[in-house]
Amino acid sequence: MDASERVLTAAYELFARRGVQAVGVDEIIARAGVAKATFYRHFRSKDDLILAFLQRRGDIWTRGWLETETLKRAPDARSRLLAVFDVIDSWFQRKDFEGCPFIGIVGHAEPQDRVRAEAVSQLAAVRRFIRRLANEAGVRDADALAASWQTLMAGSIVMALAGNSDAARLAKVLGQLLLTQGNVF
């Protein structure tokens, strides 16, 4: 593994577990086993590293896990919409549940910050997946459903962080209600 990959791997583990604000460059350098000059040769700043982390998190978490697991769990798009909550429920039940860095960054970064913009972009990727499922399910207003679905997802993540490990199950019940309200979507 080259130095750049070692740095990104170390940062991914630390940022995912503790958050981007709680982890300093020196800790990442020590964990990666590289010199400070090597770090800055590959990443001009901590923000550049955070951007790479967010992109990797989108690849691993959103596309590699959330989408893949959701598609495996249900045979049709309507069922897959609800399966999203089963997937995140399994995440909430894990001892290493760490929350969503996209949500954390959006909540703490300045509106014009490029790191915040990337976090917003990654959240939009999740919404696009939900919108695709809603379109496949024949939902009349897939954009509105996707926005509502993501609100339920984000709320359940925050509540799981606050100690409610049943939050995704509760969100799924609300999702079922949304799907039965055909006149809304």
Which parts of the chain are beta strand (E)?
A: none
Residue 178: predicted pLDDT: 92
- Asked if 101 and 20 count as a contact pair (C-beta separation under 8 A), the reply is yes
For the chain, what are the domain ranges? 1-44, 55-180
Residue 124: predicted pLDDT: 98
What is the SS3 assignment for 23? coil
Residue 174: predicted pLDDT: 96
Residue 181: predicted pLDDT: 80
* CATH topology match: 1-44 vs 55-180: no
Residue 182: predicted pLDDT: 62
| Residue 40 parent element (H or E) | helix 36-42
Residue 112: predicted pLDDT: 87
Low-confidence ranges of the chain (pLDDT < 50): none
Angle between helices 114-136 and 46-57 (to 10 degrees): 10
pLDDT in tens, 127-178: 999 999 999 999 999 999 999 999 999 999 999 999 999 999 999 999 999 9
Class of the domain covering 55-180: mainly alpha
What's the CATH code, domain 1-44?
Answer: 1.10.10.60
| Residue 121 parent element (H or E) | helix 114-136
